[in-house]
């Protein structure tokens, strides 16, 4: 009997303590199955990533979305620095291989360009970077035209011009033979299959003029490489340093750019973690945290006016690609586990705008999944179809369940579709 009473008393105590745990406050460390706070959804930490809230025609930043609340940030990479690097990487390649690059010997170095999304800052920057480095850019009021040109085998297009490169005292002509936004009929952009088809069309009508294939990303670049340029020995350049593209450098892929996804994925979750813990936003970023995590300033920049963290890019070529073969490895200086007593489990809603985007699904998300453990975040990953915002926003039906949000929009103009849900 005595034992039974003791057991009952124990059970009663357990119920009492469980109730106390569930009674709200941000200090609940035990729950991993949803938000434990009374914070209004509109005041919860929010990070935009990969697609910066901005006007898709002008590129102007959407400062309302970037200042949604005091704990709102954007995490991406420095698009202009990366674009310039991609252009320079291609020009360097041409210079180093000038004796063999002009395949048909017509004196014109011809390239084709796969454009990801004409309304996406990163895509626009990369198109401009390639054109600027190769001398094919046309500027109006100081801005390089980034429009696709269709085909331009005769050099008559107005959105680009024939460029010239001076190499070892000889002047060579460079021509953008064709470019196209790789959008499929359903509306998905950066579409690898569309790029594979485009190179088929281009190569069958003017294949011998194509000396270089350039692409706004590796997904499209690899599709063109596998469909045509690998067998033809035509150097193909992409962006993202996805593992398959890095491996393909051994087989003639010309090169790619690492946008330091390992640093970006960390920052995406780290800014949420810091806001949730109520610590200085620089903790574990520019300032070492207790676990020893810290980033040096050669891998990212923070622009306070834009509320944006930008990772810096690195060129990956035949010279250094062996250092980049595992694209899903966490960045060593920020790979230390946080202590759950000071950074308790919190739940995060996170979406990937297109579950079949090569970069986001094969590089970015696997990295996020490693960092969420290290940062004690319980992340729910939502994969979109790449075309419709509502396909994603429909799955943000109960924001009160989460402590923080990480958003990757389909269209960079659409921030309000998300913030209006959080403000309800």
- The footprint of ligand BGC (CB under 6 A) covers 50-51, 116, 122, 190, 217, 219, 239-240, 357, 359-360
Q: φ, ψ for residue 101 (rounded to 5)?
A: -70, -35
When the beta carbons of 239 and 310 are compared against ligand BGC, the nearer one is 239
Q: To the nearest whole angstrom, how small is the minimum distance from the Cβ of residue 218 to ligand BGC? A: 7
State how far the Cα of 179 lies from the Cα of 110, in Å rounded to an integer.
12
Listed in sequence order, the residues at least 6 apart from 181 whose beta carbon sits closer than 8 Å to its beta carbon are 115, 116, 117, 118, 148, 189
- Considering the complex, what minimum distance in angstroms separates the CB of residue 219 from ligand BGC? 6
Do 207 and 230 meet the contact criterion of CB atoms below 8 Å apart? no
Instruction: Report residue 203 as tokens.
Output: 């190569």
In this complex, which beta carbon is closest to ligand BGC, that of residue 51 or of residue 346? 51
Q: Which is nearer to ligand BGC, 360 or 382 (CB)?
A: 360
In the bound complex, what is the minimum distance in angstroms from residue 237's beta carbon to ligand BGC? 13
Cβ closest to ligand BGC, residue 44 vs residue 131: 131
Question: Which residue, 181 or 357, is less far from ligand BGC as judged by CB?
Answer: 357
DSSP string, 279-342: --TTBTTTB--TT-----TTSEEEETTTTEEEEPPEEE-TTTGGGGS-TTPPPGGG-PPPPTTT
| Residues comprising the chain, all counted | 424
- Exposure pattern of 46-68 as b/e (b: 16+ CB <10 Å)? bbbbbbbbbebeebebbeebbeb
Minimum distance of ligand BGC from residue 89's CB (angstroms) = 15
Q: Least distance from C-beta 379 to ligand BGC, angstroms?
A: 19
Please say which residue, 260 or 346, places its beta carbon nearer to ligand BGC: 260
In the complex, the smallest distance separating the C-beta of residue 353 from ligand BGC, rounded to whole angstroms, is 6
The minimum distance between CB 116 and ligand BGC, in angstroms, equals 6
Are the beta carbons of 111 and 199 closer than 8 angstroms?
Answer: no
Nearer to ligand BGC, 65 or 174 (CB): 65
In Å, how far are 65, 181, 351 from 56, measured between CA atoms? Answer: 14, 14, 20
């Amino acid at each position: 009997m005595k034992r039974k009473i003791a057991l009952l008393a124990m059970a009663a105590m357990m119920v009492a303590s469980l109730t106390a745990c569930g009674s709200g406050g941000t200090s609940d460390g035990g729950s991993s199955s949803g938000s434990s706070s009374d914070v209004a959804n509109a005041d919860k930490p929010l990070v935009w990533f990969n697609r910066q809230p901005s006007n898709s025609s002008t590129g102007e930043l959407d400062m309302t979305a970037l200042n949604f609340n005091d704990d709102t940030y954007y995490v991406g990479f420095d698009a202009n620095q990366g674009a310039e690097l991609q252009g320079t990487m291609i020009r360097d390649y041409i210079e180093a291989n000038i004796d063999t690059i002009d395949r048909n010997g017509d004196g014109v170095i011809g390239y084709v360009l796969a454009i990801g999304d004409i309304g996406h800052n990163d895509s626009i920057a990369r198109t401009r970077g390639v054109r600027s480095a190769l001398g094919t850019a046309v500027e109006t009021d100081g801005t390089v035209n980034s429009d696709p040109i269709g085909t331009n085998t005769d050099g008559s297009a107005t959105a680009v011009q024939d460029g010239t490169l001076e190499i070892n005292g000889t002047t060579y002509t460079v021509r953008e033979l064709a470019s196209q936004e790789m959008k499929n009929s359903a509306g998905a952009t950066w579409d690898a299959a569309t790029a594979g088809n485009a190179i088929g069309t281009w190569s069958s009508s003017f294949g011998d003029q194509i000396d270089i294939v350039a692409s706004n990303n590796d997904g499209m670049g690899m599709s063109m490489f596998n469909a045509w340029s690998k067998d033809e020995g035509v150097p193909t350049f992409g962006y993202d340093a996805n593992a398959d593209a890095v491996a393909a450098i051994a087989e003639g892929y010309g090169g790619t750019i690492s946008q330091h996804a390992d640093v970006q994925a960390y920052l995406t979750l780290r800014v949420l973690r810091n806001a949730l813990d109520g610590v200085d936003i620089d903790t574990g970023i520019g300032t070492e945290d207790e676990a020893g995590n810290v980033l040096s300033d050669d891998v990212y920049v923070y622009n306070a006016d834009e509320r944006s963290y930008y990772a810096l890019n690195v060129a990956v070529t035949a010279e250094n690609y062996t250092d980049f073969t595992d694209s899903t490895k966490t960045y060593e200086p920020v790979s230390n586990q946080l202590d759950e007593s000071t950074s308790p489990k919190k739940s995060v809603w996170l979406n990937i705008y297109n579950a079949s985007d090569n970069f986001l699904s094969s590089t970015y998300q696997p990295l996020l999944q490693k960092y969420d453990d290290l940062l004690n975040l319980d992340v729910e990953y939502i994969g979109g179809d790449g075309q419709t915002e509502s396909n994603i926003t429909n799955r943000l039906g109960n924001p009160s369940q989460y402590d923080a949000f990480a958003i990757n929009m389909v269209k960079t103009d659409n921030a309000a579709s998300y913030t209006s849900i959080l403000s309800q």
